Amino acid sequence: MIKHLPHNIGNLNNLEYFVCISNLLEGLPGDISRCQNLIGLYLSRNRIKSVPEQLIKCKELRELYLDYNELVTIPESFVRFCKLNIISLSGNKLLYLPHIPFISCPRMLIENNDYLTYIPYSVGCQQSVLTYSNQASWCAMSQPVVENTLNGIWSLRVQECGNESLSELPSNCISIRLSLSGKVLVMPRQLKRVYQNNNFAIPSLFELSLRNVYTRVWKEKMELSLKTPSNIQTHFSQLMCPIENNDTRLNQEELEQLLPKEVLVLLSRGPVAYCSNPACSSPIFHDAAVEIIPKDVQRRSWDEDEPELYKVYASRFYCSAYCRQTYFNNTSLQWERQLLNSALNFHILNVS
C-alpha cells in the first residue's frame, strides 16, 4: 500500500537493489538519482505516471522494471544509460518510444501498450537484432525464423500494442493520422513541426542553428554508430555520426556566455532523433520530415513450424524532405527502394 517514497532516499549511498513491486506509487522522487550504486530498480505494477529525468545519473543501473504502470512516455535521456541490460515497459499507456537506440543495447519489453501505434525504425532494428542474437539457439531449430530475420523481417514482442484509440489527443504533442488505416500516431513532444517527405519544406532557422551548434561546438555530444552483420538484413545498413575534432568544442562556461539558457537546455537534452539518411545522420531537434512505413514482424510459438507474420508501423525521421529524396535517388539497393516506396500518406491533426 506504499504511495510515496521519502525524498531523502538518495541518502542510501550503498543501495544496489530496490524492490517496490505491486504498491500504489504514483512517481519517484528526483533524489533517487543520488543512489549512485543502484543496479536494479523494480517498480512493476504500481501507478507511476512519470519517471524523473535525473534517474539517468544512476550510472550503474542495469535492470529497470517499470511494467504495468501508467507511463505515457519515458525521458529521451534514458537512451544514454551506459550499462542498462533490460528495460521493461510492458503494460503501460505509452504513446511513443525514444527515436534513438539505447547506447547500451538493452532488451526492451514493450508488449501490451494499447496506445503504442508505431515503433521507431532504428529502435526496431536494434531490438530485432538483439532478439535474434539472444535466442539464436532455439531459432536454429526453426529454419523459417532464421530466414525471416536474415531477410529483414523484425523479431519483436509487440503483442497487444496499438489496439486502442485515444479518446483525446495530447495537447503538448503533434499527432498524425494515416490516410489508409485511420490510425493516429503521436509524435515525440520535442517536435514542434513535422511534414511529409513529399513536402519540400525548409527547416526553421532555429532548428538549423541548433543542429549547427550541436555538431560543431557542443562539448558533450552523443556519437551514434549502428551497424549489423552483413548477413542480417535489417534494412538499416548504418547510422553514424562522425566524431568531430574535440579542439573546436567549447567548455561549459564559454557556452553559457554565448548561448541563451533555453538553447543550453535543448542542447543538453540532445536531439530527438538522427536523420535516417545514412550519408547524413544530422541531429534533429524540433523540425523533421516524417516517413511512416509498414514493417513485417514475426511471431512464433514453440509448437509452431511456420512463424506468423504481421505488420507494424515504423517511423523514420529526416532532417529535411530534400535529404530523404537525395537518399532515394542515390540508393542502388533494391530493398532500400522497396522500403522507401512503401511510405504511407498521413494528415497532421494538431500542432503543439
Instruction: Write the pLDDT tens digit of every residue in 29-50.
Output: 999 999 999 999 999 999 999 9
The total of other beta-carbon atoms located within 10 Å of residue 351's CB is 10
Residue 54 identity (one-letter amino acid): Q
Burial 200-222 (b: 16+ CB within 10 A, else e): eeebeeebbebbebbeebbeebe
Largest CA distance in the chain: 64
Please choose, from the candidates 172, 194, 173, 189, the residue with its C-alpha nearest in 3D space to the C-alpha of residue 287: 194
**Burial status of residue 165 (CB atoms within 10 A of its CB: 0-12, 13-18, 19 or more):** exposed
So what's the pLDDT on residue 137? 53
So what's the pLDDT on residue 302? 47
Long-range contacts of 215-219 (CB under 8 A, 24+ apart): 215/244, 215/282, 215/283, 216/244, 216/248, 217/248, 217/249, 217/250, 217/255, 218/249, 218/250, 218/255, 218/267, 219/249, 219/250, 219/251, 219/252, 219/255
**Cβ pair 23, 68 in contact under 8 A:** no
The class of domain 1-103 in CATH terms is: alpha beta
Please choose, from the candidates 250, 255, 270, 315, the residue with its C-alpha nearest in 3D space to the C-alpha of residue 289: 315
Please choose, from the candidates 1, 12, 11, 225, the residue with its C-alpha nearest in 3D space to the C-alpha of residue 103: 225
User: pLDDT tens across 214-224, in order?
Assistant: 888 887 777 76
So what's the pLDDT on residue 249? 66
So what's the pLDDT on residue 342? 92
Residue 57: φ, ψ to 5°: -75, -10
The total of other beta-carbon atoms located within 10 Å of residue 84's CB is 23
So what's the pLDDT on residue 135? 62
Residue 77 per-residue DSSP state:
G
Q: Where are the chain's structural domains?
A: 1-103, 176-350
User: pLDDT tens across 225-262, in order?
Assistant: 767 666 677 777 666 665 555 556 677 778 878 888 88
**Cβ pair 285, 202 in contact under 8 A:** no
**Cβ pair 235, 293 in contact under 8 A:** no
Please choose, from the candidates 289, 282, 211, 290, the residue with its C-alpha nearest in 3D space to the C-alpha of residue 240: 282
**Cβ pair 298, 159 in contact under 8 A:** no
Entry pTM: 0.89
Residue ranges of the chain with pLDDT lower than 50? 301-303, 352
So what's the pLDDT on residue 67? 97
Q: For residue 49, is it left (φ>0), alpha (ψ between -120 and 50) or beta? A: alpha
